Amino acid sequence: MKALVTIGICMKNAQDTIGETLKAVLEQDYPSDLVEIIVVDGGSSDSSVAIVRVMLEKAHRHWKLYSDGGKGLGLARQLVIDHGRGKYVVYVDSDVVIEKDLVRRQHEFMENSSRVGIGLSKYLHVEGNWLLTAWSLYHSFSPNFVGCAFSCRRAVIVRVGGFDKQIIGAGEDVELIERIEKNGWLVSTCEAAKFRHNYRQTLRGFWSEHSWFGYGGYYIAHKKGSQSTPWRSMPPGQLIFGIRAASRLYLATRRKISFVIGPLLVFGSVAWCFGFLKAAMFGYHTTR
């Protein structure tokens, strides 16, 4: 039996990608009368909100628009849980394009997997400039890719306390997953549910995104305790990991661009450390 599904989209300054994201959401083959769309804006200064309003009003679908007041992804994700009515929530990032059957596939997966609390989706490779192609190739071979397009049981999220609304930077999904698994629920990938991710295509954008990851990483490490400092995220660890990853990718694909992965991982790691140290030195700004 089909169940009501909430599609949650959290965005900020996504005017270049949100149109394509919404188009894919609106073209899902899941019954439209059993889908509600909740968009949470993080204080966009571009045309993102206007694009959302025009597209969703024209589509005549069940939808709502909220603002997180610029307080970050933890609160934005939780607003979808608080205001959504669906048995399942499918989160779709504002720079992601989901396949036409993703919602249906995720619904079937969750209905047939009673112990799964979160259903991840399968990453599809995207060709673009050298940065997008290399980074996309790397993630298309990474198992259990977290974030971007995943489903969850709304009741389970509520039961474990919801998303941590203190998290402003990235990591709110990983932190939630750890609590879900500690409570006995499984996190598994639905291989049939697939998506494409339009990554940043400039080194400046790449740096900004990974610095943001590090900023959120500081709060999560601080919450767990000093013993959880993520040493693997440091440049030396990423250099070793990058060499291994690049070698495996090249053997699997025979594409020379695979060897860009190592330097990119180190560059991203330096940016991550910058964000981490920024939070440590100047104070992590929480929503309280």
| Pairwise CA distance, residues 28 & 31, whole Å | 8
Distance, in Å, from the CA atom of 48 to the CA atom of 93, rounded to the nearest integer, reads 13
Task: Give the predicted TM-score (pTM) of the model.
Answer: 0.91
- CATH 3.90.550.10 domain residues, the chain: 5-197
The residues, any chain, with a CB within 8 Å of residue 9's CB and separated by 6 or more, are 18, 21, 22, 25, 37, 38, 39, 40, 91, 92, 93, 94
Return the CA Rg of the chain: 19
Check if the beta carbon of residue 230 is closer than 8 Å to that of residue 221: yes
Phi, psi of 18, deg, nearest 5? -65, -30
Return the number of other C-beta atoms located less than 10 Å from residue 65's C-beta.
Answer: 14
Indicate the Cα dihedral angle 35, 166, 272, 19, nearest 10°.
30
Determine whether 120 is exposed, middle or buried from the number of CB atoms within 10 Å of its CB (0-12, 13-18, 19+). Answer: buried
Res 192: pLDDT: 96
Q: What is the pLDDT along the chain (288 residues), one digit of tens a residue?
A: 788 999 999 999 999 999 999 999 999 999 999 999 999 999 999 999 999 999 999 999 999 999 999 898 999 999 999 999 999 999 999 999 999 999 999 999 999 999 999 999 999 988 989 999 999 899 888 766 677 899 999 999 999 999 999 888 788 998 999 999 999 999 999 999 999 998 888 999 999 999 989 988 888 887 766 444 556 667 888 888 888 888 998 999 999 999 999 999 999 999 999 999 998 888 776 543
What tokens appear for 143 in the block?
Answer: 């198992």
Q: Locate 26 and state its tokens.
A: 């609106």
Q: What architecture is the 5-197 domain classified under in CATH?
A: Alpha-Beta Complex (3.90)
Give me the pLDDT at residue 226, please. 47
DSSP 3-state of 214: helix
Question: Can you list the positions of beta strands (E) in 55-104?
Answer: 62-67, 88-92, 96-98
What pLDDT sits at residue 287? 47
pLDDT at 227: 45
Tell me if residue 209 falls in helix, strand or coil: helix
How far apart are alpha carbons 225 and 222 in whole angstroms? 5
pLDDT at residue number 92: 97
